[in-house]
Amino acid sequence: MSRLLGEVHEKALRLGIPWNVHLDLTWRCNLRCVHCYLVQREGPELKLEEVSRVLEELAACGTLFLCLSGGEVMLREDLFDIMERARRLNFYITVKTNGTMLEAEAVRRLAELNVARVDVSLYSHQPEIHDAVTQAPGSFARTMAAVRELTSRGVKVQISHVLMRQAAASYTEVRRLAAELGATYKLDATITPRLDGNAGVLRLNVPDAIWREIYNDPELVGPLMPDSPRSAPSALAELPCSAGHTACYISPFGDVYPCVQFPLRLGNVREQSFEKIWRESPALLRWRAVRNADLVVCRTCELHNVCSRCPGLAYMEGDLLGPSRLDCEKAYARTGLRPAPLAE
Amino acid sequence: MDPVYIARHPAAAWRRLEDEVIVISASDSSLFTLNEVAAEIWECADGRTPLAEIVAQHIVTRYDVGFDEAYSDARELVEQLAGKGILIVSGEPITGGDGR
Ligand code: SF4
Ligand code: SF4
């Protein structure tokens, strides 16, 4: 994070502003990715007018960064109406998509609307492996075509590479492919439980040896000990993470959570204004009072400076204030030191 | 004095945080913070109101400064912001900025 962005983030925290909001517009999807964390849910998605009202409320609360996602966001027929309204409200918009439905006309609209970045999910540089993950033959080719169309129109693209067992060693090649395509590369090396807590998909996580490799590659994870954000003297450093402080997640059905990976329900924008939820939700106020010093095991863990403990994962594992075993495993892979929860 | 019109660039995303305005360019993600006076001018940059009118109505009346000095500072500011690619400056009214 740049110094200026860090200062602005601190200010947003001091003012209690939901600076970053992730809004899922649908959970429907045209692919069937084997690791997907979403749960099937029936029920009406927020309609265009409801989304518009939420966007106005977010702008009034001070949100600047808006991530539009899904499911597959291109399945929303009113997506461009939503984006147009969001741009009129001066949001900085990023879009997450699998890219398979992004044809030339849609790309032209994204460029015209000054979408800041499109994040495209990729699982391998090899079509057959990628298509096996998405369970949709031909999806790799369609995604590649979309990335080329986006970059040729000057839209910034980030390849979000979810690494899993089927393609455990592929990150070097996918990183190279992203560079060839003129896209940035982001590795996501952890498969997380489904939002209903079902941990079956965790078997797709890569073997420990690969984690060790990844977490010791400074190009992927940055320097090890120095300048850890946790050691910086700042108000943010006292907090488990930005979720619920300067960031939040809104589901297609209007439910509000601290983060997409933190299924602690705070309220619903159909029943209350976003601002009321953000300022008054009892669950949120309780969560906001938590400091790193309250984390029973982690506060004394010698790895806390290198650990990216996710409170959402800890919550899904059953204890909001406890460690997240997935993060313990990553910290172990990174340092070779075994944190206490793994010794049990 | 030739009229000067200013419009926020359509690729600029921005939000007011207390007395400042934070601007981020969607084209290269560079971030700017505008101080109180610059923030006033920014919010008035609709492409239709001449800069002289913005300065006379929003700066001179609010801050202890004469028009000439304020206008010359404002000219310098808008040229700087134009140089950063987040503001459009023109001798004609502007359509197609974010004032649309
Ligand atoms: S650490 Fe977890 S809960 Fe916090 S922002 Fe990151 S993913 Fe969300
Ligand atoms: S390694 Fe485990 S116990 Fe240590 S800080 Fe991370 S989550 Fe907590």
Structure tokens at A104: 């030339």
Q: Is A306 in the pocket of ligand 2 (CB under 6 A)?
A: no
A155, A107 contact by CB (below 8 A): yes
**What average pLDDT does the segment A308-316 reach?**
92
Does residue A254 sit in helix, strand or coil?
A: coil
Structure tokens at A116: 């800041």
Does residue B38 register a pLDDT over 90? yes
Q: Is A192 in the pocket of ligand 1 (CB under 6 A)?
A: no
Does residue A101 register a pLDDT over 60? yes
Gap from CA of A325 to ligand 2 centroid (Å): 7
Beta carbons of A90 and B100 less than 8 Å apart: no
- Sheet of B31-34: strand order equals B12-17, B20-25, B31-34
Q: Where are the domains of chain B?
A: 5-9+36-93
- Rounded to two decimals, the pTM is 0.92
- More confident call, B29 vs A192: B29
Gap from CA of A126 to ligand 2 centroid (Å): 35
Nearest Cα of chain A lies from the Cα of B15 at a distance, in angstroms, of: 6
Query: Of A1, A8, A14, which Cα lies nearest the Cα of A239?
Result: A14
Beta carbons of B31 and A11 less than 8 Å apart: no
- More confident call, A70 vs B97: A70
| pLDDT band at residue A225 using 50, 70 and 90 as cut-offs | very low
Does residue A320 sit in helix, strand or coil?
A: coil
Q: Is A262 in the pocket of ligand 1 (CB under 6 A)?
A: yes
**What average pLDDT does the segment B8-31 reach?**
93
Beta carbons of B15 and A114 less than 8 Å apart: no
- Is this complex scored with an ipTM above 0.90? yes
Does residue A223 register a pLDDT over 70? no
Of the listed ranges A47-56, A143-152, B18-27, the least confidently predicted one is: B18-27
**Is some CB atom of chain B closer than 8 A to the CB atom of A115?**
yes
Q: From CA B19, how far away is CA B95, in angstroms rounded?
A: 27
| pLDDT band at residue A122 using 50, 70 and 90 as cut-offs | very high
Structure tokens at A285: 């106020």
Structure confidence at residue A79 (pLDDT): 98
Does residue A311 sit in helix, strand or coil?
A: helix
Of the candidates B11, B13, B15, the beta carbon closest to that of A62 is on B15
Q: From CA A123, how far away is CA B55, in angstroms rounded?
A: 54
Structure tokens at B21: 């305005």
Structure confidence at residue A64 (pLDDT): 97
Nearest Cα of chain A lies from the Cα of B45 at a distance, in angstroms, of: 14
Structure confidence at residue B27 (pLDDT): 83
Structure confidence at residue A81 (pLDDT): 98
Phi-psi region of B66 (alpha: psi -120 to 50; beta: other; left: phi over 0): beta
| Residue ranges of E strands in chain A | 20-24, 65-69, 92-97, 117-122, 157-162, 184-188, 247-250, 255-257, 267-268
Beta carbons of A15 and B26 less than 8 Å apart: no
**What average pLDDT does the segment A236-261 reach?**
94
Of the candidates A2, A17, A116, the beta carbon closest to that of B26 is on A116
Of the candidates A8, A17, A90, the beta carbon closest to that of B13 is on A90
Give chain B positions within 8 Å (CB) of A12. Answer: 17
Which of A310, A321, A326, A330 maximizes ligand 1 atoms within 8 Å of its Cβ, making it the mutation to test the pocket?
A: A310
Of the listed ranges A13-22, A263-272, B89-98, the least confidently predicted one is: B89-98
The 10s digit of each residue's pLDDT in A321-336 is 999 998 998 888 888 8
For chain B, the distance separating the N- and C-terminal CA atoms, rounded to the nearest angstrom, is 26
- Sheet of A92-97: strand order equals A184-188, A157-162, A117-122, A92-97, A65-69, A20-24, A247-250, A255-257, A267-268
Beta carbons of B12 and A116 less than 8 Å apart: no
